[in-house]
Structure 1
Amino acid sequence: MGLLEKLKTHVLTADGAIGTVLYGYGLEYCHEEMNVQRPELIEKIHREYIAAGADVIQTNTYGANAIKLARYGLESRVQQYNEAAITIAKRAAADGGQFVLGTIGGIRGIRKSDATLEEILLTVEEQANVLLAGNPDGLLLETYYDFEELSATLKMLRGKTELPIIAQVSMHEPGVLQNGMTLNQALHELQALGADVVGVNCRLGPHHTIQAFEGVELPDKAFMSAYPNASLLDLEDGRVVYESEADYFGRAAVALRDQGVRLIGGCCGTTPKHIAAAKKYLEELTPVEAKYTKPEKVEIVREAEPATYEPLHEKVKRERSVIVELDTPRHLEIDGFIQGAKKLYEAGADVVMMADNSLASPRISNVAMGALLKETHGVRPLTHITCRDRNLIGLQSHLMGLNALGIHDILAVTGDPTKVGDFPGATSVYDVSSMELIQLIKQLNEGISFSGKPLRKKANFSVAAAFNPNVRVLDRAVARLEKKIEHGADYFISQPVYTKEKIVEIYEATKHLDAPIYIGIMPVTSYKSAEFLHHEVPGIKLSDDALARMKACGEDKERSTLEGIAIAKELVEVAAEYFNGIYLITPFLRYDMTLELMKFIGQLDEQKKGVSIDG
């Protein structure tokens, strides 16, 4: 009798965690390598779960794919580890006739940039081919947070085999996936894609897993599975632990059965003791054929308040728009910064932009200064937000705070690594890249948190992305812009450009894009700063003429300032011809130079209007 035939009339007990048991032995390296290094130990674990009553066991192959094995330099061992794993599991199950599932683990978390869908499918296919050659009783797809990845993987595998496929999602919040989809919807979509068993595993303990299934209707074709963690995790002396009595887990298994689940095992923190308890409670029970489904709680998500200002990405499509950058101070004296920001805004800047600890060196919080400028001085702020300094918790909290303050103009950037800044030993977080951050900000605009939970109200962010045109192959940089647009970028702000030819080249390479671009212009203040930019900043090159002109100024600071402004004006004149958006970067709080450039932009626009009227 096959697995699906058995599930028609029985509630089956699956095994528990393999990694947790190996962790208990002090083995914290690549657990899949143990299939070759310690095969007797892996077989012992399988036999302990079988002795505990497991009807179904899984191969020790959760991370046995090239992408995950590459973390250990073992990506060439995919075939070796998977062949060994299926051989060990089948040998352990031979005497008792337990079903053996070939396990394939999810790869993506929130970071989609770690691997493309094409790369994932190739690596999963490589692993699946080896597992299928070992003749398992089915495939288990587990710990999938990214529904797009699971759907694509399921479709690909369904085309390769008629064996049973168990497809399991993982949730951050009970009953909802990280993209906001309900568990009920997700499981029914997986059934429609060809999964024979649909369910959940990992992240949540028994209580929240049961709670999640209360809102799930019984599928009409597929069966349901659940592999909850032993409990919520805790840290004890720096080690991950799960506090859960085996008997509690066993009683929870009955509650899962009452919700229509027919295949019940365990994930992180579970051991043979947990599975033995589940078996004891489930052994005499038959599957439920009907259940009460708790009505889905409809969370009312309020619309965001209308923006006080027109979004920059809308204005710049129609007319001239100027962003000015003024870095917040690296000290506690703020009077000069406030004065500069006010003057720049009063001179006609649409926003005053503030970096988020640029060059990985601490400055006064741009959120604090942005709120002060907005509330006290009526200046519209645009704040950078980097992926470097905050984990996902901090990023969402930070963004929610910005929204509450009414600061809706954001530039999402990855951020300079800490090794270039004042504290090279500090940790760079980088939970996500700038692309994923853009996507997550847009998710907040839909009223959905990073975990998928409703926020009761939509945010209202206009999201800019960075553009570095100072590269050898501009087409590659433009391709990156296209990806950022796919992730939700509304417009782009470029790094400073120092040649007229580069501005024209940018225009020709990007004129097909819907998202507008603000061209960055930063005046140089001396020949030393010009040389530094030209020789030490990757990708930035000044023209020979500009370098010669700055060199001719010698040590004369006043002359250097005037020449730097003159060169910047020539660049502005070309940029204004091709782009509505101009981004002026203030060097070293020298906002007098920026003011001069703003005045020049106004003169250019007035001349253009005059020509148009005369024409």
Structure 2
Amino acid sequence: MKKKNILEAIREQLLIFDGAMGTELYQRHVFTNRSYDELCLSDPELVIEVHQDYLRAGADVLTSNSYGANRSVLQKFGLADQVAAINHKAVELMRLSLERLAPQRQVYLAGSIGPLEPGLRQKMPRQEAVQAFVEQAEALSEAGVDFIIFETMPDREAALQASLAMSSLENPPPFVLSHAIPDGEDLAEILAHRLQPLQAGLPAPFALGLNCGLGPARMLEALTAARTLTELPIIVQPNAGTPHKVENRQLYLCSPEYLSTYAQRYVNLGARGVGGCCGTNPEHIAELARSLKRLSQSYSSISVSEAQKPKAAAAQETALAEKSRLGQKLARGEWIKSVEITPPRGWDTAQIISKARLCQQQGVDAINVPDGPRAAPRLSALITALKIEQEAGIEAVLHVCSRDRNYLALQADLLGSAAVGLRNFLFITGDPPKLGGYGYASGVFDTDSIGLVSLQKHLNQGIDLGGQQIQPPSAAVIGVGADPNAIDFNREITRLQAKIEAGAEFIITQPVFDVEALHKFMRVIAEWKIPVIAGIWPLASLRNALFMKNEVPGVLVPDSIVRRIEKAQTREEQLACGIQIAREALAELRGMVAGVQVSAPLGNVNAALEVLA
């Protein structure tokens, strides 16, 4: 199969980049008093060994061992006349690694160019610096790289010199400018300065990178700022945390699982390439590949494919008001009150049935039943929902996520739900397995929330996954999630529109603490005229507030709310404050939404009912 060019690939798929070369060479007892780049000539099999370890890990992009193979760095080792030879060999070794181990894989070869020698760079005239970059870029281009990546650019001037160098090449390959951002409190200000247009008439990079300088957590902050400053695809390659000195070695103690957890957030913010920088190794990259590649499918609008397009004629769908009591209230525009209660970790349903029965007695319309929230294993959401409807006398809204089941199992569960009378659904993509404590579990992600909506819509029309007719059609009420606080707000709205076009009939939002964000969201989607149920979370304590603020993607807890809860002295006072904040939010948003979903914090259904009282 013909390999896509890198410009197409980075926009159509998530690319897993390799990790640190220097770290791996150091681990193989090559010390820092020699040129790592020269190893391409003197010990090529060692370099090939590192490349192949990254290939085995699942890397889609190999980066050449040429980071310091420019004249200003090589002259320290008496190798200034070897620039062309080292760079040519570096590319050859990547190609040999691929040919020996995985000749059929679509892997991209990136030519690495690092910054000039720090001691000379500040004194070097611009033209001399540009020429040093030109010499290396020409050699990498001649050797046949798919693209050049200028790594760890230390400032705006270095990025300008790199761009000027690319403008001097006759047939320049695509290139990336990857910035090293120093750790400090003014990340957004630094990025705003770095990412300003460099100079009119210069060739533009096809992507921007963030690498080195920052560990996974701080890199998330940098990406959050960078995403608002450029429309270019962004490649994220954090360090493995902060180095620790252990027996005269600088070691990075960030686990692959820790990096992977943050990498999932990078992807949720729109990163198109993810890899590692200093301290990362093939184990980190293997974990990224395992946890991210299926997740990346959510970038495509997954619906019924060509092979699955309906062969049977669509049946008339059941009207929304006739599908369920919830559907009737949605159709009539009546105020909806629902409470979210998480299924138990064990199999005993007595407590959750008791809580649902209490909600029914207090006039709640429905119980929302999450499907393995935060990738934590719990009692089957489907069984929980069924037991609630049968024993508590209140409708359930069954959450269905695509993380754990393939298309066949998903259809089977949706048909099974129809058979036992479950009618209300909220379709979500689901948290990746690494967010939970069961990291060895695999995410399936045959589809995403858009594809799930499309699947249920077709079942409602009497058409199954393969385009075959089913009788009778299902009559499900189709709900979807939305995040009014999304950092990449345009992407969130685009995906929401795709969900609505696929067949969504109502929306439930992430918990709303900033009502103004919901106002903005409602204004943007007003033309679609779809009922919105606002998520409300009564904060149970200061610790709960900090957890929601720092650890739950899609939830924005303003500092003003945290400070307000901090003033409460006891846990009981903090809960009372959290309930009051939730009641105030509900009162403020009541005129703009169709209803509310109040979460029972830590299973405390009485707190949710106090909010609704």
TM-score, normalising length: structure 1? 0.49
TM-score, normalising length: structure 2? 0.49
